[in-house]
Structure 1
Amino acid sequence: MKGLTIDQIIHYQTEGYLIAEDVLTDEDLQPVIDELEQEIDKRARALHAEGKIAELHEHESFERRFALLHAQCPEIGKGFDISDYLGDAVFRFLGNDHLLDVVECLLGSELSCNPIQHLRAKLPWKPGANAEPDYFQNVPWHQDCAVTSVDSDASEIITFWLPLVNATAETGCMEVMPEVSKLGYLKHRKEGGTTIVPEQLPHVQPVLAECRKGSIVIMNKYTPHRGTTNTSDIVRWSLDLRYHKLGAQSGRSIHPSFAVRSAKQPELVLTQADKWRTLWQEAKLRRAEGKLHRV
């Protein structure tokens, strides 16, 4: 198990975030990228058949093709999150050993995959070329605990954000506020999205969390962070994953958590993608009562 060094763990505990470099290999990430390319191609061909896309851009790279297709028909991005398309490769990656070795250093050997997880395609944006980036392109300052239910306040839920291309200032990496996690939960409100209320926003110099492909930005659930604009000519693809201790409240109990690693009860680990898909499909059929999360 490679995992994290003591110095890295101390940095995470002190600052509320850590950029762990070169955790994942191309072999870890390529199956996910291949699956995304196949999904994009399938959607593009369906929209082409409907006359909504004129040019398929079949020979463009993973980093560029989606933006060219999206410019012709934004519908191609509809329902393109992890819990929507539920791909085999993404499911296998949720239990990737290199990733879980890092998670285990912070949460122990009994691990559950949290259902709050996202795939994001941050599109290129040029001043004057299109509208201002919306909430889902540039999420404002927030803490990840804000989108959990209050019954999970005692749960240690850690975010593992990883890019599928280099996340730089140009491609739209995140900014984080160091040490603010020590303040606990800050009040949020809905304003296009979930964001910290202005009067509670700390006056802290943010850190630009540039992160190479294969590296991970790890964040405490109380660490304020936000997105920045992608001014490059490529799509900044990323996965936003969270893990918590097996048996703890997930903060989204209406959606399925599942065991990804257990030294004590390895038989609990979910290894079948079909079963994972069924859990999500059943969850979506159930009507949620009350608020999805505290905000």
Structure 2
Amino acid sequence: MRLTVEQIIAYQTEGYLIVPEALSEADLRPVIGELEREIDERARRLFAEGKLKALYEEEPFERRYAFLYRECREIGKGFDIQHLLGEAMFRHLGSEKLLDVAECLLGSEISCNPIQHLRAKLPSAYAGDEPDYFQNVPWHQDCAVTTPDSEASEIITFWMPLVDATAETGCMEVMPGAFKRGYLDHRAEGGTMIDPAKLPEIVPVRAECPKGSLVIMNKYTPHRGIGNRSGIVRWSIDLRYHKTGANSGRSFQPSFPVRSARDPESVLRDAGEWRRLWREVSEAKGQKLHRV
């Protein structure tokens, strides 16, 4: 799938774009299956250790994790891309469908940015005493979690839900056009957030996004996440891409080419090498990840 001229103009004008039906159920199935297996393995281990009273095997992907987490939060320890390092997730980072879209905005020399996350936003009824910013993610810009030396780099966010992201399940809200103001001062209060005094007076737009669709954002686009009032977990994947050779904003973490017309052999296709790169990083502690 490639973006139309109208979609590209809309992205360049508003700083965000919702791309419908970018991925099929078959495209997402390997990643979801990998997550289901990981959840099941963790649940069985915790059950054997007496930390869970039930396995909740009858519950579907959209609900099982919530039941398990409510009973034992240990189920969620290290539940993120750079810790799980799954084969299916690695293949997803280099999905041809995602890269076809990214190429429309970045050109043919594309690297996967090291800022990448898997998020499970629990139904609020299951969240217990979690910090409020887990549910109501404050207004922020994605550039706030990059180092200032990447200011000239074009880094774009690809946010994709693994279930329908609606007002009820906890979708994002964005501020159209606000990216033109550049970086806004942030505070480290209740999660990294834009200084309220610097928050643009722009009416936000609700970025509801069905499963299989994408929300693409400029790194300066202010956005926030609203609470999950549904009965399911709002699973989502948050990826970033940038032009190969540009500063990634996380030079101490691995970025790697995922598409190259100039040098196809440079593309990283070995999941084992990807894991090795991340494991090397995990041994180097103390790096600051946010600007504030």
Query: Shift of residue 193 of structure 1?
Result: 1.1
Alpha-carbon separation, structure 2, partners of 1:132 and 1:173: 18
What's the counterpart of residue 225 of structure 1?
223
2:290 partner letter: H
Alpha-carbon separation, structure 2, partners of 1:221 and 1:140: 16
What's the counterpart of residue 43 of structure 1?
42
What's the counterpart of residue 205 of structure 1?
203
1:206 partner letter: P
2:5 matches 1:6: yes
Runs of 4 or more consecutive aligned structure 1 residues displaced over 6 Å after TM superposition: none
Alpha-carbon separation, structure 1, partners of 2:290 and 2:230: 34
Alpha-carbon separation, structure 1, partners of 2:84 and 2:136: 23
2:277 matches 1:279: yes
2:134 partner letter: F
2:152 partner letter: A
Contact 1:67 1:235 in 2 (8 A): yes
What's the counterpart of residue 137 of structure 2?
139
2:242 matches 1:261: no
Q: Unpaired segments of 5 or more residues in structure 2? A: none
Contact 1:12 1:18 in 2 (8 A): yes
2:74 partner letter: E
2:289 matches 1:292: yes
Alpha-carbon separation, structure 1, partners of 2:97 and 2:236: 17
Alpha-carbon separation, structure 2, partners of 1:151 and 1:13: 23
Q: Secondary structure at the match of 1:271?
A: coil
What's the counterpart of residue 21 of structure 1?
20
Alpha-carbon separation, structure 2, partners of 1:284 and 1:262: 28
C-alpha root-mean-square deviation of aligned residues, in Å?
Answer: 1.3
Q: Unpaired segments of 5 or more residues in structure 1? A: none
1:169 partner letter: A
Q: Secondary structure at the match of 1:135?
A: helix
**Superposition pairs of residues 105-254 of structure 1, within 5 angstroms:** 105-126=104-125, 130-131=128-129, 134-254=132-252
1:42-69 Cα offsets, whole Å, 9 max, x none, are 0000100110001101121000000011
What's the counterpart of residue 75 of structure 1?
74
Alpha-carbon separation, structure 2, partners of 1:130 and 1:69: 13
Q: Secondary structure at the match of 1:141?
A: strand
1:141 partner letter: W
Q: How many residues align?
A: 292
Structure-2-length-normalised TM-score = 0.97
Alpha-carbon separation, structure 2, partners of 1:288 and 1:256: 16
1:86-117 Cα offsets, whole Å, 9 max, x none, are 10000000000111100000000100000001
Alpha-carbon separation, structure 1, partners of 2:195 and 2:185: 6
**Superposition pairs of residues 81-100 of structure 1, within 5 angstroms:** 81-100=80-99
Q: Secondary structure at the match of 1:136?
A: helix
Query: Shift of residue 137 of structure 1?
Result: 3.3
Is the alpha carbon distance of 1:126 and 1:72 closer, same or farther for their aligned partners in structure 2, counting shifts above 3 Å? closer
Q: Secondary structure at the match of 2:187?
A: strand
Q: Secondary structure at the match of 2:227?
A: coil
Contact 2:124 2:135 in 1 (8 A): no
Contact 1:254 1:288 in 2 (8 A): no
Contact 1:40 1:66 in 2 (8 A): yes
Contact 1:70 1:77 in 2 (8 A): yes
Query: Shift of residue 132 of structure 1?
Result: 6.5
